[in-house]
Amino acid sequence: MSTDARIHGAVYAEDGTCTFSVWAPEKKKMILHLVAPQEEKVEMIKDESGYFYKKLSRVTPGTQYFFMPEGAEDIPDLASHFQPHGVKGPSEIVDHNAFVWEDEAWRGKPLEDYILYELHVGTFTEEGTFEAIIPRLEDLLDNGINALEIMPVSQFSGERNWGYDGVFPYAVQNSYGGPQGLKKLVNACHKKGIAVVLDVVYNHIGPEGNWFEHYAPYFTDTYRTPWGNAINFDGEWSDGVRDYFSGNPIYWFNHFHIDGLRLDAIHAVFDTSAEHFWELCHKRIKALERRVARPLYMIAESDFNSPKIVTPIGKGGVGFEAQWLDDFHHALYVLLDKRGKKRYEDFGSMEQLEKAYNEGFVMSGEYVKFRKRKYGASSAGIPPNRFLVFTMNHDQVGNRVRAERLSALVDFERLKLAAAAMLLSPYIPMLFMGEEYADESPFFYFISHEDPDLIDAVREGRKKEFAAFASEGEPPDAYAQETFHASKLKWDKRNEGKHAVMRNWHKQLISMRQNHVALKSYARKDFQATVIGEKGLLLHRKHNRAHLLCLFNFSEEKYVYTMAAYTTQWLKVLDSKEDQWCITGNPNKHPEQVLAGEVVTIRPLSVVVYTNL
C-alpha cells in the first residue's frame, strides 16, 4: 500500500467494509479486539513498513474496538475517529459517508477577506456543544463576522480543557458532540457563508490518555517542548510519525470540510529532514486543494519572527498562508494599558506601533531584553495579508492571573481605540469571542483530568508560572468547575447599555472594512503609518484615487494635525466622539468637513477617520 493512500484508524467504506490500520513497526503481533455490540478478537497482518492491517465486512458503524499490541492489553486506536467514553475507553467506527452535506455551493473565500472570530466550544454557550453554536451564527453574521477559528477539539481527558491537552488528534471531543456535531456546525456555517478554521496541535501530545508509546517511537529525547515530549519527526522510525501527523490536515479538510487550520506553536515542531514536516504537509494539502477546487489554508502561530514562515516553499520559505502577528498586539496593548509594560518590557513606544503597521514584525533583529539576545528578521517585504492581528486571544487573556479581558483592563474609550486600530489595519483581523460587545467574563485556564497527581501538578505549575505576578494573587483552581463556568460568555449582555454601543462600534468598523475601497487593498504601497508628535498616529489607507486618513490619539491630551492635500476637502466617516459611540455626556466630536491644509484638533483618547470620497 502506497504512503499517499495510507489508511489511519478504522476507515468505513461505502461498500460496507471497514479497514483497520495501525503503525507499530517494532511489534511482532497485533490483535484487533471488537468489544461492542459483540466481542471478537482478530489477528492483524503486518506489512514491510510496519503497518498492521485488517479488512472486515461484518462490522457496522458504531462498533467499538481496541487494538492489542503483542496481543496484551486493550489500547485505544491512536487514529480513532471517535472516543465516546473518553480517552481510556474503546474507539468507535465512524461512517463519514453517512453525513448529508448541504454546502455543495461553498467554494471558500479569500483569506484576506476573513473577519475571524476565535471561540472555545465549551465556554461560547451555556451548553458547551457544537450544535449550541449554530443558533448564534446569525448574530455573528449581523456583526460582520464571516469566519470562525475554533480552539482545538481533538479528544482530551474529561470535559473541561482549552484543547491543547488533546491525545487523539483524529477524534472529535465527545463532550462537544463528537464528529457528527462538528460536521453539523461546519455545514451550517458554510450555508450562511461563514468559513471555519480549526486550531490543531502537532508539537506535543497531552499527558492523560497518551497511548502513543504503547505502539511506536512517536517521541524523541533529542528536543524538548514546554508542554510534553517532543514528537519524533526526524529520528529513527520517524517515517510513520510523519505519515500519521501529515495525514491529519487531510482528514479535517476532507471529512469535515474545514477551510483552514491554525497550527499551534510551530516553533516547537523540530525536524532536520531534507523535506521538512511542514513541506510534506503543504505538498499533500495542495494536492487535495486541486481535487476539491476550493482554497485550504494553513495559519501559523510562530515564535520565530521570521518572514520565511509565510514565504512560499518555492521561494525558500516554509509556505504558510499567514501567521499570527504577536508584535502588533504587544505594541498596541502597552500603549493602551501602561501596566502592560511589566509583561512586555521591550514595548511601549508609538514608533513601535508605527513599525508594526508599516512592516509587521517590530522585533526584527534588535536586542530584546525579554530574550536576552537579538531576535527576529525584517518582514517589510511581506504582503500584509500574510499576517493575522488581534487585540486579545485565548493566550493573552487566559495566561493572566485573573484572566482579564481587555474590557476589564482599560476604559471604554481605549476599547474603541483598540478595535479601530485592529479593524482599520491592513492585516487580517481576529476577534476573541465576546470581544465585539465587550464581554467582561474572564477566560481562565481549566482542566478536568482524572489523575489526582496530574491535577496537583497543574495547580503547582500555574502558581510557579505566575510567581512574578504574586501581587495579583494566586490563579484560581484550574480543576474547579466554578473556574470553568466563570469563563462562559454572558450573551445576555450584548444588547444592553455600553455592550450594545461597543457591538455597534464593531459592526460599523467591520462594515467600513468590507465596503470602503481604500480598506480593501493589501498592497504595501497603499498604506503608511506615521507617528504625529508624541501622542498620535496617522494611518493613511488608499487605493487609486480613494484615500482614508485614520487619526488616532492614544493619549489623554489633544493634538493638532494639518490635513493632507490629497484632496481639497475631507469628509468625516467615523468619529469615536460622536454621541452614538459614547456612554458619557458631552463627547466633543470632531468636525464633519475639513479642508486640505486646515488644522484639526484630535481629541484625547479618540479615533477619527476622514475620506476624500
Amino acid at 463: K
CA distance 32 to 74: 9
Give the whole-number percent of the chain exceeding pLDDT 70: 99
pLDDT digits (tens, 9 = 90+) for 580-610: 999 988 789 999 999 999 999 999 999 999 9
pLDDT digits (tens, 9 = 90+) for 326-375: 999 999 999 999 999 999 999 999 999 999 999 999 999 999 999 999 99
* Mean pLDDT in residue range 172-199: 98
pLDDT digits (tens, 9 = 90+) for 92-115: 999 999 999 999 999 999 999 999
* Mean pLDDT in residue range 384-391: 98
> Which pLDDT belongs to residue 421?
98
Q: Rounded to an integer, what is the distance from CA 253 to the centroid of its chain? A: 16
* Mean pLDDT in residue range 299-323: 97
> Which pLDDT belongs to residue 7?
79
**What backbone phi and psi angles, to 5 degrees, belong to 499?**
-65, -40
Per the residue annotation, which of 92, 149, 301, 359 is the catalytic one? 301
Counting other chains too, the contacts that 333-340 makes at CB distance below 8 Å and 24 or more residues apart are: 333/391, 333/396, 333/406, 335/554, 336/406, 336/409, 336/410, 336/414, 336/417, 336/418, 336/554, 337/406, 337/409, 337/410, 337/414, 339/409
Amino acid at 94: V
CA distance 296 to 288: 9
> Which pLDDT belongs to residue 58?
87
Give the whole-number percent of the chain exceeding pLDDT 90: 95
| Mean residue pLDDT across the chain | 96
73 part of the active site = no
Q: Is the model's pLDDT at 409 over the cut of 90? A: yes
> Which pLDDT belongs to residue 587?
80
359 part of the active site = no
Cell of 208: 492523560
* Coil, helix or strand at residue 521: coil
Amino acid at 218: Y
Q: Is the model's pLDDT at 4 over the cut of 60? A: no
Q: Domains of the chain by range and CATH? A: 9-98 (2.60.40.10), 111-509 (3.20.20.80), 522-611 (2.60.40.1180)
Got the DSSP string for 299-363?
Answer: EE--SS--GGGGS-GGGTS---SEEE-HHHHHHHHHHH-GGGGGT-TT---HHHHHHHHHTS-S-
Cβ-contact 431, 142 below 8 angstroms: no
* Mean pLDDT in residue range 11-34: 97
* Coil, helix or strand at residue 560: strand
Q: How confident is the model at residue 5 (pLDDT cuts 50, 70, 90)?
A: low
CA distance 594 to 570: 5
Cβ-contact 86, 100 below 8 angstroms: no
Q: Quick check: bond before 587 cis, omega within 30?
A: no
Q: Is the model's pLDDT at 2 over the cut of 90? A: no
CA distance 443 to 452: 23
Q: Is the model's pLDDT at 78 over the cut of 70? A: yes
Q: Is the model's pLDDT at 162 over the cut of 60? A: yes
> Which pLDDT belongs to residue 586?
77
Per the residue annotation, which of 264, 404, 413, 526 is the catalytic one? 264
Got the DSSP string for 447-500?
Answer: ---S-HHHHHHHHHHHHHHTGGGGGG-PPPPTT-HHHHHHTS--GGGTTSHHHH
* Mean pLDDT in residue range 514-531: 96
